[in-house]
Structure 1
Amino acid sequence: MLKYNSTRSNITAMPSEAILKGISSDGGLFVPEDFPKIEVESLNGKSYEEICFQVLSRYFHEFDQGDLKDMISQSYGKFNTKEVTPLAAFGDLNFLELYHGPTLAFKDVALSILPHLLTASAKIQDVDDEIVILTATSGDTGKAALEGFANVKGTSIVVFFPNDGVSMIQRKQMTTQSGENVHVIAIEGNFDDAQRGVKEIFSDEDYNKLLKKNGFVLSSANSINIGRLVPQIVYYFDSYIKSVESGKIKMNDPVNFTVPTGNFGNILAGYYAKNMGLPINKLICASNDNNVLFDFFKTGEYDKNRPFIKTISPSMDILVSSNFERLLYHVSNFDSDFVKKAMDDLSSLGKYKVSDEIKNTISENFYGNYCDEKDTLKTIKNVYDKYGYVIDPHTAVGCKVYEDYKLETGDNTYNIILSTASPYKFTKSVYEAIFGPSELDDYTLIEKLSESTGLSLPNELIAMCTSEDLHKKVCDSHKMKESITEILL
């Protein structure tokens, strides 16, 4: 029976409890006590949903297997393509398209099933209180979570996003979200401020007791929730099987994955897949100008004491990558005292340093580099000019870092780039990268980008752009708790 440990103490939890809580009461994150193994050969010929069941059933053993299959079926029937995560190949570039869900971003893959996992966990834990999903977003998680939880019985959702730190399309997707149980609030601050505020609320025992007294219990849809992280493991296995079936590689051949990285959850899912038996050679961590992870890989010191830079890849505009805490726990041989001290130092000093042994262990699995704004735009244009393929800025960061990795290491191992968002979520940046400056705004350029490139246009996107904003509240980043109180109490 697989249990989950807190990264910061000896607290343990069953899967349903870890999913329901989202974050441990000591401020730590829940991690599996061991990695369940999968024989990759056994996945040959299996569909995405079948592979998903193989992964989730190993991590979430409390759920009835029939119910789990139903959850999976309900979650992935609303994607825009026959394959949940198609693989597009051009030369030696292989793009895993993770953005064909209802909100056009990779977060849909996990957040489509999380509401089912949460409500099932509440039943297992005999929780009758209303579950309040509390989430900070740098752009994509917010909409995907809102879409997933809208009008789900027994839940409410509150999403905080940086007022001046998301694209116009990302903002509009959130502010037009309907649903009696959804609340969207912009904060004056950046994503790190929003994320810190959410964590502080989860760790405030008195406030949580007050909510409990009034019939509410907090949970999270961020990747700090293990129920959000585990479903992301699936597309690593699925893309590998697709590559074998297409003849790109042979079964058991090594593979690299390049992942545009912000909060470290997406790439950590790849690390979990590797430890489960997927033959991953290297996980290539691609950052934008907020390159705190790149500096860590070079020096072994995580230092957030630097300017926060707003970029055209805003979902990666993060200086505190929450899921990196999970990696530290795994590579330090489950040393919760070390992890707690590192996180305390990060909070009080803005930095921490790891031993050479830990740094070397991480380097065996990961490579880190970054791409600046100029090269991001240049990569979007180069890929379009060469292949007629349109990528968003986050995917462009991954593409450029992959090219740099090959030049630096000479490693030509088969590589898959995780394409994390539709180009339409960042229309102006993408259009201008390919065709030059335009005075038109994102909304107007949506149809123009489609006409100019032949990129198919999601009809719901046009309707959204003309919809009325339903959520207009803005609060200071230090007043987030008060905003929740106004909503619930």
Structure 2
Amino acid sequence: MKYRSTRSNETVTAEEALVKGLADDGGLYVPEFLPVPFLHADELKDMTYEELAAFVLSHFLTDIPEEELKKLTHSAYTGTFETKDIVPVKPLSQAFSMAEMFHGRTCAFKDLALSLFPYLLVYAKKEEKDDQEILILTATSGDTGKAALEGFRDVPGVHIMVFYPSHGVSPLQKDQMQKQLGSNVKVVGIEGNFDDAQGTLKQVFGSSLRKEEAEKGVLFSSANSINIGRLLPQVVYYVWIWLKLLKNGSIGEHESFNVVVPTGNFGNILAAWLAKQVGAPIGRLICASNENKVLADFFETGVYDINRPFYMTEAPSMDILISSNFERFLYYLTGSAEQVRESMDRLKKEGKYEVSKEAFAKADMEMMGGWASPEDMAHAMSEVYENYNYLMDPHTAVAYAVYDHLRREGEIPRHSHTVIISTAHPYKFPGVVAKALGLKETESPYDTLREITDKTGIPVPKQLGELENRPKRFTETVDRKDMADTIRSYADEICGSSH
């Protein structure tokens, strides 16, 4: 199967798409066609997570032999998660379950794709007979950065540089990045928000700097979900959730289930949409936003408009106005690379675009949006803990608040089962979690965690606890306009060390 750009007729192999990350025209790669639905519960029900991953991905990455995929998924999912289930699905009532995606190395859902992506990238690089050093350039709103750093740590021939909003992540997320181990990693804060970091990196990918460094022997790539190698492994866990729901009796053999996904960059819910296209019986797909509700507004109006205030919230991974992966969804809605290119140009020039009535009607059939205020989120955290003895992180709480509102409004069928995607361990956000539990936030996030543990009995994951006494390695902060120079300097350093 070939991959094509969302903005032109540029077509590449799967390996090229994995290595390049972003198309030459600035577009994102999508499969040339979606596989015919291929999911049958009877065939899949006894598979482990790694076996399921190899099976699902074999239909998208057809150039990679399935035996090779099995080796890659085995390496990715062996010994890297705290639970053998990888993604436990916990029914809290007849009406809804929580799919826990935070049992990996960095306590966030990004671990599920970023445990596998480095193996896919190294394989693709080898197949392409590419002897250049790869520099992964990644912007993060909080979780991707740490998961990518951990995934690529000390991988031969690959280096990684992560930019994060210096004032836009939780203290623990910042510690996770500033105290990162590894000889091939670099972390830089920026004065600005995630959109500033992501937008500047996209410019770098389209600039002469990319070509200059390639000529010197350093190839730029990405670990954000703009890279198809980050997005496709996310499809797997929606198939897994379906099989778990069948096993625990939450749904019957011919029943569908709804999914509520808290998302800012749209990759996580796009993966659910792709799972539905290849046969997962997903009913309602609900896109949950915080105050930065550009996606919720689109599903209400058909207009994507970033001309609005930007809010820094307690759910920082959703503090995004330019949702990169939405471009792929727009391509599927319109079926036209030309229309996507025009819309992206308009977004750049005017800060908004509107889709046709036909495309909006299709979007309305495919997905619905909703958003939750900070008050809704805080109330959801307290309510779910009191009623179900279940502690949520702020992103998951946004999803629950949206779900609860839509259910009360009758927008979610009363007898259907809904899965809330629990994207991060609550202990990554000690301040807001403590407040929801009626505890006082202490000066040290680690002291706050100990207080929360005393109240809830939930132990601190070792991957968070061990950060407390680790020294900070990366404390540099730059202005967004200096990002390109910072990248050039690191790339030149890589050139020097590899010769």
Please give the TM-score of this superposition, normalised by the length of structure 2: 0.96
Alpha carbons 1:233, 1:270 under 8 Å: kept:
yes
1:160-206 Cα deviation digits (max 9, x unpaired): 000100000000000101111100000000000000011011111x2
Deviates more, 1:441-450 or 1:75-84: 441-450
Of 438, 450, 453 in structure 2, the residue corresponding to residue 450 of structure 1 is 453
The alpha carbon displacement at 1:456 in A equals 2.5
- The answer for the alignment partner of 1:308 in structure 2 is 310
- The answer for the alignment partner of 1:165 in structure 2 is 168
The alpha carbon displacement at 1:18 in A equals 0.6
Q: Write the distance in 2 (CA, Å) between the matches of 1:24 and 1:459.
A: 39
Alpha carbons 1:390, 1:455 under 8 Å: kept:
no
Gaps of 5+ in 2: 493-499
Q: What is the letter of the counterpart of residue 397 of structure 2?
A: A
Q: Write the distance in 1 (CA, Å) between the matches of 2:39 and 2:377.
A: 38
Alpha carbons 1:428, 1:441 under 8 Å: kept:
no
Alignment of 1:39-54 (within 5 A): 39-41=39-41, 42-54=43-55
Q: Write the distance in 1 (CA, Å) between the matches of 2:264 and 2:54.
A: 27
- The answer for the alignment partner of 2:135 in structure 1 is 132
Q: What is the letter of the counterpart of residue 272 of structure 2?
A: G
- The answer for the alignment partner of 2:75 in structure 1 is 74
The alpha carbon displacement at 1:410 in A equals 4.8
Alignment of 1:224-373 (within 5 A): 224-333=226-335, 335-373=336-374
Partner-residue secondary structure (3-state), 1:465? coil
Q: Write the distance in 1 (CA, Å) between the matches of 2:299 and 2:39.
A: 31
Residues 339 and 102 of structure 1: CA distance in aligned 2, closer, same or farther (over 3 Å) = same
Gaps of 5+ in 1: none
Alpha carbons 1:281, 1:365 under 8 Å: kept:
no
Alignment of 1:327-476 (within 5 A): 327-333=329-335, 335-408=336-409, 409-412=411-414, 413-476=416-479
Alpha carbons 2:209, 2:488 under 8 Å: kept:
no
The alpha carbon displacement at 1:438 in A equals 2.9
Partner-residue secondary structure (3-state), 1:80? coil
Alpha carbons 2:96, 2:417 under 8 Å: kept:
no
The alpha carbon displacement at 1:436 in A equals 4.2
Q: Write the distance in 1 (CA, Å) between the matches of 2:437 and 2:367.
A: 31
Partner-residue secondary structure (3-state), 1:435? coil
Q: Write the distance in 1 (CA, Å) between the matches of 2:405 and 2:356.
A: 27
Confirm whether residue 116 of structure 1 aligns to residue 115 of structure 2: no
Of 95, 109, 124 in structure 1, the residue corresponding to residue 98 of structure 2 is 95
Alpha carbons 2:442, 2:448 under 8 Å: kept:
no
Q: Write the distance in 1 (CA, Å) between the matches of 2:61 and 2:328.
A: 18
1:374-432 Cα deviation digits (max 9, x unpaired): 11111100000111111100000000101111122251221111000000110111111
Alignment of 1:8-27 (within 5 A): 8-27=7-26
Deviates more, 1:158-167 or 1:409-418: 409-418
Partner-residue secondary structure (3-state), 1:133? strand
The alpha carbon displacement at 1:225 in A equals 0.3
The alpha carbon displacement at 1:38 in A equals 1.6
Partner-residue secondary structure (3-state), 1:16? helix
- The answer for the alignment partner of 2:33 in structure 1 is 34
Partner-residue secondary structure (3-state), 2:467? helix
- The answer for the alignment partner of 1:482 in structure 2 is 485
The alpha carbon displacement at 1:368 in A equals 0.4
Q: Write the distance in 2 (CA, Å) between the matches of 1:287 and 1:417.
A: 13
Alpha carbons 2:91, 2:250 under 8 Å: kept:
no
The alpha carbon displacement at 1:62 in A equals 1.8
1:123-166 Cα deviation digits (max 9, x unpaired): 11111100110000000000000000011000100000001000
Corresponding pairs, count: 486
Alpha carbons 2:172, 2:445 under 8 Å: kept:
yes
- The answer for the alignment partner of 2:4 in structure 1 is 5
Q: What is the letter of the counterpart of residue 33 of structure 1?
A: E
